[in-house]
Amino acid sequence: MAKEFGRNARVSSQMQKELSLVLQRDIDDSRLGFITINEVVVTKDLAVAKVYVTVLNVDEQGKKANVKLLNEMAPVIRHQLAKRMRLRHISDLRFYYDDSFDTGMRVSELLSGLDKPIESAQDGHDENEG
């Protein structure tokens, strides 16, 4: 029976926390926006870590630019991460934009907009009957 919370999950969780601190404190680049580490998925052999990020208050081009910059800075970030984590080998970092936040915001807008058209359609229908 497999462990419920295996080594991959523990490493992913710790890596997420440490990456947040590294980006907040150690990486000083004005080109980077406000970046949030949403999730870190580490392969079974811990060789590669997929880091899913969200960048707030930027347009689509800014999001792509931030992810590209993070991938260019991955060796520096990895070095800083190695100083913080007690692992023999640190995973290669690959950054990806996580659009789940944007999707959630869009769904929220659509749901909040549902009430208004229904009410106005009912009001218009009542006027036609009277």
Mean pLDDT of 56-82: 92
Distance CA 99, CA 122 (A): 35
Model pTM? 0.76
Q: How far is CA 33 from CA 13, 44, 100, 114, in A?
A: 23, 31, 18, 33
pLDDT tens column, 74-124: 999 999 999 998 888 899 999 999 988 778 888 888 888 777 655 455 555
pLDDT tens column, 25-45: 988 888 888 899 999 999 999
Q: How many C-beta atoms surround the C-beta of residue 5 within 10 A? A: 8
Position 56 confidence tier, pLDDT thresholds 50, 70, 90: confident
For residue 38, the number of C-alpha atoms closer than 13 Å in the C-beta half-sphere is: 13
Structural tokens at position 21: 């601190």
Q: Are strands 34-42 and 48-56 parallel, antiparallel or unpaired?
A: antiparallel
pLDDT tens column, 6-24: 888 999 999 999 999 999 9
- Contact, 33 vs 60, CB < 8 A? no
